[in-house]
Amino acid sequence: MAYQSVNPNTGKVLKTFESLNDAQLETSLAVAESCFQTWKHKSYAERAVILNKAAALMHAHVDDFAQLETLEMGKLITEARGEVKLSADILAYYAKNAEAFLAPEKLNPKVGQAHMESSPLGVLLCVEPWNFPYYQLARVAGPQLMAGNTLVVKHASCVPQCAIAFEKLLLDAGAPAGAYTNLLISHEQCNQVIDDPRIKGVALTGSVEAGRQVAARAGQNLKKSCMELGGSDAFIVLADADLDKAIPWAVWGRMYNGGQTCCAAKRFIAEASIADEFLAKFTAALKELQPGDPMEEATTLGPLSTEGALLQLLEQVDAAVKGGATLLMGGQRIDRPGSFMQTTILTNIAPTNPAFRDEFFGPVVSFFCVPDEAAAIALANDSDFGLGGSVWTKDEARGKRVASQIDTGMMFVNNIDWTDAELPFGGIKHSGYGRELGNMGIQEFVNKKLVRTTQLAFPA
């Protein structure tokens, strides 16, 4: 399996990398295990020096990291800079807070003393996606390196240069060989790594199908796993919503990262009394987006990450229309070089239409009109996914009440601002299990050990 870097703006191959052979893979695993035996004994302060240095290097070279990402996956350069800064902030966040998050927790048994203490598990395998080439890596590297684990990482095959750049970043920051190792490996080799007894846990961000395969393999080996999978988040517009605030968020929520985000707003559900006005303003705002070279600051609609991603999305839209959906706008490839798709809106999507259940990973809007709040809640919950969602209303108490009734791992009232290191990220149902970021993220791959000391009389 070759790792190929292709510029989706032009379709031209940038670089190709060969996968590791089995002997090279064995060396990488051995070094990661050897490193763990010393890394786990480092103090939080010693680990923090390295993570803080990595964060500082990212901030100092924002444009270098961002431009590589834009070349390799087509992210708008302004958004790429934001991702680099966020990734650096995540590393610094865990450098600062890890020790407090994993501090011994005092318990209060009826007799004697007891506490819970945390210790690292060992070498972790992290399987990460292309849509946020640095952020996804920082989400595992920050907490798990600070917890004392070491990582071997299989990144997506279409962003090998970003993967190599992140590994180099940590080495340049002073991380010992084996603390964080990028693996250019095949899917078959990935299974070998999961089976390897030196691997103590598996984290994956990716598709539902990838999650099923990796989680099953980890389960067969009785290894802890954390899965962050797809989403079909509802954007619920209640009758009293402030559209001047909701429309910009609707555009951002659907179109950020070219719509290629697990927690993007994908299903827009509006109460009937406001539906026509919302849809008209939303459509007008989407039409303002300008396709172009993602390196150019003026571009507001970049390419999809790969040609394959574009073709899959076009097939999904065609299937939706054949299934009875109305194509309100878009639905076609943009006539220019690169993997560009028109911004698309589908309406009149029946429950029997494949579009009702599918996740559209790109600039495709699914729009629904419902009679009232109860119907909006029911429709939002009628999904195989349960990642996130949002509610839009001038009545914050109402928004919170509705948010509490949506079956997801995250809900937002009058915003979709999930980009914060302090906020736990994750979902339920087919969106996976476990959490990344915040205090919860660092707890996923540590041993929570009970220690009790007391002079109890031996039971009679």
Give me the mean pLDDT over the 335-354 stretch.
98
Q: What is the pLDDT of residues 174-215, one digit of tens each?
A: 999 999 999 999 999 999 999 999 999 999 999 999 999 999
216 Cβ contact list (under 8 Å, min separation 6): none
Question: Does the structural domain 2-229+431-451 have CATH classification 3.40.710.10?
Answer: no
**Active-site option among 162, 262, 263, 369:** 262
C-beta separation of 340 from 301 below 8 A:
yes
Task: Convert the pLDDT of each residue in 254-268 to its tens digit.
Answer: 999 999 999 999 999
pLDDT of residue 190: 97
Catalytic residue among 33, 167, 228, 373: 228
| 241: number of Cβ within 10 Å | 23
- Listed in order, the ranges of the chain carrying CATH 3.40.605.10 are 2-229+431-451
What is the rounded average pLDDT for all residues in the chain? 97
Q: Tell me, yes or no, if the pTM score tops 0.85.
A: yes
Specify the long-range contacts of residues 52-56, CB closer than 8 Å, at least 24 apart: 52/91, 52/92, 52/95, 53/173, 53/174, 54/88, 54/91, 54/169, 54/170, 54/172, 54/173, 54/175, 55/88, 55/89, 55/91, 55/92, 55/95, 56/88
Band of pLDDT at residue 458, cut at 50, 70 and 90? confident
158 is catalytic: no
The answer to whether residue 436 is catalytic is no
13: Cβ contacts below 8 Å, ≥ 6 apart: 4, 5, 6
- DSSP annotation of 270 reads E
Domain with CATH 3.40.309.10 in the chain: 233-413
pLDDT digits (tens, 9 = 90+) for 308-332: 999 999 999 999 999 999 999 999 9
Positive or negative, the CA dihedral 198, 200, 206, 210 is: positive
Confidence of residue 460 (pLDDT cuts 50, 70, 90): low
Question: Hey, what CATH topology would domain 233-413 get?
Answer: Aldehyde Dehydrogenase; Chain A, domain 2 (3.40.309)
